[in-house]
A and B are shown apart, each in its own frame.
Chain A
Amino acid sequence: MYNARTEQRRAWLQASPALIWLGFFFLAPLVLILIYSFQGRADDGTVLWNWSLANYQKLFADGSFWRTLWLSTWIALVVTAITLVVSYPLAFFMATRSPKRRGLLVLAVMIPFWTNFLVRIYAWKVLLGNNGVVNRFLDQFDLGPLQMINNPSAVIMALIYGELPYMILPLYAALERFDWVQLEAARDLGAGRFQTFWRVLFPQTLPGITAGSILVFVPTVGTFAVSDILGGTSVNMVGNSLSLQFGSASNWAYGSAISMIFMLLLLGAILLYFKATREVNDGENPG
């Protein structure tokens, strides 16, 4: 009944709707902007068909693009690092509670996680805005007003706030699977606290660290809304310049070139990261 031949055919049949949909509405658009990135801009703002490397030449000489890219990378790295440092001990705390309390602690992380991201950004505007809660509070003591939004710190704060659950949940999943007897075993065999962590716990939770870091880094580096709402005109990230080129600047060809370089660098970084974490893991657990 389940011979290999029909299995093969059935697998293809089941995969085909996804292949067709993603082929048309994911892959084809990406190929299209690859092609667009080699075209020009007509005076009316449409794409002018004229193959050249001009966009890439312009891009590499464009200091503001590299500043934007650097700012995005820097913000994403800071956000990823802080969420990791805060979430690992939290996930450890959660995983070592009694089962009943764990359920509640996970639930308490899930509620902000499922809340619309606009609400989460807006909450920070209510707190930090020029007319916000903190400034009104300061008013009573004739302090302030402090300018707390429209700067990178506000963007970083809101991003950490929004992305925290994406780091906590994979780390918790990894720690929750961990067999705690191993810690005792390592200690009984004479390992110190640090050694126990570094050689026993850390390698086994590395998949959670990798997953969490990517889940936080990617949306952060490509963010558009957070920097738009809390960064004002002073925080320009890649997402903002992309939307500018495809929006009011109407230079789709140049925007496409930005997308291409951005995507290549991002995919390259993720591959490198995967490779590095795998090597760390292999080094820790030879054989």
Chain B
Amino acid sequence: MAKILADKRIETKHGRSRPVAKRHMPWGTWALTLNAIFVYTFLYVPIIVLVLFSFNAAKVGAQWQGFTLQWYNELFADARLGDALWTSLKIAGLSTLIATTIGTLAALALEKRGWRGRKAFDTGLYLPVIIPDVVMAVSLLGFFTLAFRQFQALLGLNLAMGLWTVIISHVAFNISFVTVVVGTSLANFDRRLEEAAADLGATPWQTFWKIKFPLIGPGVLGGALLSFTLSLDDFVVTFFTRGPGVNTLTTEVYGRIKKSISPEINAISSLMLLGSTILVLTSLWMQRRRQA
């Protein structure tokens, strides 16, 4: 990303790299800087406090009583949490795999112009993004319940909600996000490369895997990463579409958070924060390496 930004700077005709704002409105620069300091403080103070107190020896209350790793030790011994984390990863991994495949195919279809129904398909794909997740969640609950009852009555099949209904539902809300992300990287793809490959005798299959996929790969990876995060992050859809006994990290933590604040939850939260930070840094590092 940094490279693209750098190129844009060079294009600026006057070659001035310092902000234009500085020259035009000196008072504005002060206000802008203050606003930035304010926003970043606002973004980080709550998380920093959270992390600090996960090392606090006090069991109740928020008085500082010394450094401890006790809460982390208790956490690692908590089998319920381990199971919940594993369930979350299974759901996120599988739903990302399916949603990325389906979403990428959909983006490839949208890239082709002038087929009938393209516009309706394009518009329809945005619907899952703008429908609130709570509406999606309750409608899926209604759907699965009715469908299972019909299966039972007509076919004698005994189906029940479980892990798989959660995965199906997560795929449903992730497809659109993957398509949007892959679509933006397809928009930058030079179609003449495809034509050149075809002229040189490559089969469509070869052209796709050898030319196109490596070039849109970062977009596909980005879509997958977004899908994985959205799935891990989801509470509402999981809550309504899970079967009995299915507990993800979010449903497990939700129950505990609602009750009270405690040092153990501070510790879980800090670990989740660490996980997402590593995820962001890794994806950034991969982006850098590709550009280097």
The proximity string for B residues 1-35 relative to A, scoring 1 for CB distances below 8 Å and 0 otherwise, is 11001101101111001111110110000011101
Q: Are B14 and A131 in contact (CB under 8 A)?
A: no
Q: Are A176 and B36 in contact (CB under 8 A)?
A: no
**Cβ of B198: which chain A residues have Cβ within 8 Å of it?**
1-2
The proximity string for A residues 50-94 relative to B, scoring 1 for CB distances below 8 Å and 0 otherwise, is 000000000000000000000000000000000000110110111
Interchain CB contact (< 8 A) of A96 among B19, B229, B258? B19
Within 8 A of A (CB), among B239-263: 240, 249-250, 253-254, 257-258, 260-261
**Cβ of B195: which chain A residues have Cβ within 8 Å of it?**
2
Q: Are A89 and B35 in contact (CB under 8 A)?
A: yes
Interchain CB contact (< 8 A) of B143 among A25, A105, A136? A25
**How far, in Å, is A105 (CB) from chain B's closest CB?**
8
Q: Are A4 and B114 in contact (CB under 8 A)?
A: yes
Interchain CB contact (< 8 A) of A187 among B24, B46, B118, B143? B24
**Cβ of A36: which chain B residues have Cβ within 8 Å of it?**
142
Q: Pick from A86, A116, A218 the residue with the most CB of B within 10 Å.
A: A116
Q: Report the Cα distance A238→B24, complex, angstroms.
A: 46
Given A2-B198, A164-B43, A246-B141, also A127-B49 (CB < 8 A): yes
**Cβ of A86: which chain B residues have Cβ within 8 Å of it?**
35, 38-39
Q: Are A242 and B276 in contact (CB under 8 A)?
A: no
Within 8 A of A (CB), among B190-226: 195, 198, 204
**Cβ of B50: which chain A residues have Cβ within 8 Å of it?**
119, 122-123, 126
Q: Are B175 and A7 in contact (CB under 8 A)?
A: no
Given A33-B139, A118-B250, also A92-B21 (CB < 8 A): yes
Which listed segment binds A: B67-75, B76-84, B151-159, B164-172? B164-172
Q: Report the Cα distance A10→B249, complex, angstroms.
A: 40
**Cβ of B31: which chain A residues have Cβ within 8 Å of it?**
89
**Cβ of B276: which chain A residues have Cβ within 8 Å of it?**
111, 114-116
Interchain CB contact (< 8 A) of B254 among A30, A90, A118, A184? A118
The proximity string for B residues 74-108 relative to A, scoring 1 for CB distances below 8 Å and 0 otherwise, is 00000000000000000000000000011101101
Q: Are A116 and B233 in contact (CB under 8 A)?
A: yes
Q: Are A110 and B280 in contact (CB under 8 A)?
A: yes
Q: Identify 20 residue pairs between A and B in the complex whose beta-carbon atoms are under 8 Å apart, listed by A's number.
A: A18-B103, A18-B179, A19-B121, A25-B172, A96-B20, A103-B1, A111-B280, A115-B273, A117-B235, A118-B254, A118-B272, A126-B62, A133-B49, A136-B62, A179-B12, A218-B132, A219-B132, A225-B235, A229-B258, A256-B138
- Additional A-B contacts beyond A96-B21, A122-B261 (12; CB < 8 A): A1-B198, A15-B109, A25-B143, A111-B276, A111-B277, A114-B279, A118-B253, A118-B269, A125-B257, A161-B46, A228-B258, A239-B132
Report which A residues bind B (CB closer than 8 A): 1-2, 4, 7-8, 10-15, 17-19, 21-22, 25-26, 28-30, 32-33, 36, 86-87, 89-90, 92-94, 96-100, 102-103, 105-112, 114-127, 129, 131-133, 135-137, 161, 164, 168, 176, 179-181, 183-184, 187, 193, 214, 218-219, 221-225, 228-229, 238-239, 242-243, 246, 252, 255-256, 259, 262-263, 266-267, 270
Report which B residues bind A (CB closer than 8 A): 1-2, 5-6, 8-9, 11-14, 17-22, 24-25, 31-33, 35-36, 38-40, 42-44, 46-47, 49-50, 53, 60-63, 101-103, 105-106, 108-110, 112, 114-118, 121, 124-125, 127-128, 130-136, 138-143, 146, 168-169, 171-173, 175, 179, 195, 198, 204, 229, 232-233, 235-236, 240, 249-250, 253-254, 257-258, 260-261, 265-266, 269, 272-273, 276-277, 279-280, 284
